[in-house]
């Protein structure tokens, strides 16, 4: 067996494992209860506004821009499916651009709150100005209506 064949089998196995484990690991993040007291009303509002569907995005890693997709978007954060590069928990992620091809894309920033290598990472948004917050809410409302 050649080295190229071995590498191909390894890559295929890793991708297959990511496809199987990705939904399981993401569902664990999505259903995590809040540890802060008094958040039940805010949690309910966020659940009503969360959109579980795919959005193309580009985010900037330490190695440069990476094409990825967001599979879960809310007013306070998102889950980025990123199989090849995942930042560490606590790291700041700048310039998550949604959708990257739009004339006026949303540009979001946040802190990584959960990270699973080969699967993706969860981001809690920080420093959203009023315009970005309103545009994000409008995007979420439009996607909830179908």
How many whole angstroms from its chain centre is CA 33? Answer: 18
Main-chain dihedrals φ then ψ at residue 108, nearest 5 degrees: -115, 155
- Side-chain-side CA neighbours of 51 within 13 Å: the count stands at 17
Q: How many CB atoms lie within 10 A of CB 126?
A: 13
pLDDT at 34: 41
Would you say 89 and 113 are in contact if contact means Cβ atoms under 8 Å apart? yes
- Does residue 12 have a pLDDT over 70? no
In a 3-state reduction of DSSP, which class is residue 144? helix
pLDDT at 22: 53
Which residue in the block uniquely carries the two structure tokens 């991708």?
15
Span of 1-5, 81-85, 120-124 with lowest mean pLDDT: 1-5
Please report the domains of the chain, with CATH numbers, ordered by start residue. Answer: 3-33+40-145 (2.40.10.220)
pLDDT at 142: 87
Span of 18-22, 104-108, 118-122 with lowest mean pLDDT: 18-22
pLDDT mean across residues, the chain: 78
pLDDT at 27: 46
- 65: β partners: 60
- Does residue 4 have a pLDDT over 60? no
């Amino acid at each position: 067996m050649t080295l190229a064949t071995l590498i191909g089998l390894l890559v295929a196995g890793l991708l297959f494992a990511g496809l199987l484990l990705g939904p399981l690991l993401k569902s664990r993040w999505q259903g995590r209860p809040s540890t802060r007291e008094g958040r039940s009303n805010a949690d309910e509002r966020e659940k009503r506004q969360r959109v579980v569907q795919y959005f193309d995005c580009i985010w900037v890693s330490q190695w440069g821009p990476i094409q990825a997709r967001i599979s879960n978007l809310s007013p306070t954060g998102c889950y980025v499916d990123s199989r090849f590069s995942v930042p560490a928990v606590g790291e700041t992620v700048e310039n998550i651009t949604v959708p990257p091809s739009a004339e006026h894309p949303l540009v979001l920033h946040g802190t990584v709150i959960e990270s699973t290598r080969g699967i993706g990472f969860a981001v809690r948004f920080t420093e959203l100005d009023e315009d970005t917050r309103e545009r994000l809410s409008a995007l979420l409302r439009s996607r909830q209506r179908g």
